[in-house]
């Protein structure tokens, strides 16, 4: 077994194309997770019991089952009822739904940590509910959430190789196809690890900065 630099340069363009898809899936998945989490939190706070219970149950269900199973379901089972999704879109939906249930918990904790007196002061100032959310609740609740949200962002990034199971040509899938056609595994799979490590490390540095910047409220 020998490391072949020439082979490395040869496969690099394909791997970089995979990196692009991996990053794209992570960013789109995070954006969707941020929105899904918000919808879950609002629905669970709803005064309508049927809404809050149903959404609560669905969120627990999604969080309690593996992402891989959900991806298979979205990509291979939904076509049976006529919903045919392109691989990347199916993957982004899977990531967004799955991680949305986690971001919902982050939002919930952030909102519940706000002292009751802040809601009461907003009411005594006669702010409307919408004004209260925009000017009092969110500016205080969001900064402490940022480190936890960034953590899930990195976790999601490291789970994107699962998308190879539904034919998304992300980094892992590109490496596998290179390996399968050339019968060389050491370079492509090592490079996958290196790419993930480098991007994770950069993200962790960013995360530490975010923690310092937003972790503690003055």
Partner 1 sequence: MVLAGEIGVVQPIIKVDRISKNFGAFQCLNELSFEVAPGEKIALIGPSGSGKTTILRILMTLETINSGHIEVDGDQLYHVERNGQLVAADEAHLHRMRQKIGMVFQLFNLFPHKSVLDNVTLAPILTKKMKRADAERRGMELLDMVGMADKAKAMPAQLSGGQKQRVAIARALALSPKIMLFDEVTSALDPELVEEVLNVMRKLAAETDMTMLLVTHEMSFANDFADRILFFDGGRIVEEGKPGEIFRHPKQERTQAFLKKIIAAGQRI
Do the beta carbons of residue 37 and residue 107 sit within 8 Å? yes
CA–CA dist 167, 51 (Å, integer): 35
Is 113 a binder of partner 1 (CB under 8 A)?
no
Residue 81 touches partner 1, criterion: CB under 8 A: no
| Cβ nearer to partner 1, comparing 132 with 151 | 132
Quick check: 131 binds partner 1 (CB under 8 A)?
A: yes
Tokens linked to 199: 């991007």
What tokens does 25 get?
Answer: 């899936």
Please state, in angstroms and rounded to a whole number, the distance separating the CA atoms of residues 172 and 168.
Answer: 9
Cβ 110 to partner 1 shortest distance, Å: 14
Burial of 42 (0-12, 13-18, 19+ CB in 10 A): middle
Q: Please, are residues 106 and 148 in contact by the beta-carbon 8 Å criterion?
A: yes
**Which residue's CB is nearer to partner 1, number 81 or number 124?**
124
Give the nearest distance from C-beta 116 to partner 1 in angstroms.
9
Choose between 68 and 146: whose C-beta lies nearer to partner 1: 146
d(CA 160, CA 66): 13
Nearer to partner 1, 46 or 140 (CB): 140
Stretch that binds partner 1, among 19-27, 68-76, 116-124, 176-184 (CB under 8 A): 116-124
Tokens of 127: 């702010």
Q: Which of 79, 139, 206, 215 lies at the binding interface for partner 1 (CB under 8 A)?
A: 139
- Choosing from 45, 53, 135, 212, the residue that interacts with partner 1 (CB under 8 A) is 135
Q: Which is nearer to partner 1, 185 or 214 (CB)?
A: 214
Residues whose CB falls within 8 Å of the CB of residue 151, separated by 6 or more in sequence, listed in order:
207
Residues forming the site for partner 1 (CB under 8 A): 115, 117-118, 120-121, 123-129, 131, 135-136, 139-140, 217-218
């Amino acid at each position: 077994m020998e490391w072949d630099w020439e082979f490395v340069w040869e496969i690099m363009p394909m791997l970089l194309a995979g990196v692009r898809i991996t990053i794209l899936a992570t960013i789109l998945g995070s954006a969707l997770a941020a929105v899904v989490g918000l919808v879950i939190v609002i629905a669970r706070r709803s005064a309508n019991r049927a809404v809050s219970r149903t959404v609560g149950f669905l969120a627990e269900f999604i969080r309690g089952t593996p992402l891989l199973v959900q991806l298979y379901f979205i990509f291979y089972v939904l076509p049976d009822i006529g919903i045919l999704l392109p691989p990347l879109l199916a993957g982004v939906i899977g990531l967004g739904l799955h991680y949305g249930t986690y971001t919902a918990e982050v939002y919930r904790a952030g909102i519940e940590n706000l002292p009751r007196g802040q809601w009461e002061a907003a009411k005594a100032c006669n702010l409307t509910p919408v004004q209260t959310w925009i000017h009092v609740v969110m500016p205080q609740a969001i900064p402490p959430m940022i480190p936890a949200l960034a953590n899930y962002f990195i976790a999601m990034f490291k789970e994107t190789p699962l998308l190879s199971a539904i034919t998304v040509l992300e980094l892992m899938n590109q490496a596998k196809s290179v390996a399968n056609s050339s019968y060389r595994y050491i370079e492509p799979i090592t490079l996958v690890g290196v790419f993930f490590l480098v991007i994770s490390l950069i993200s962790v540095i960013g995360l530490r900065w975010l923690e310092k910047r937003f972790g503690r409220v003055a």
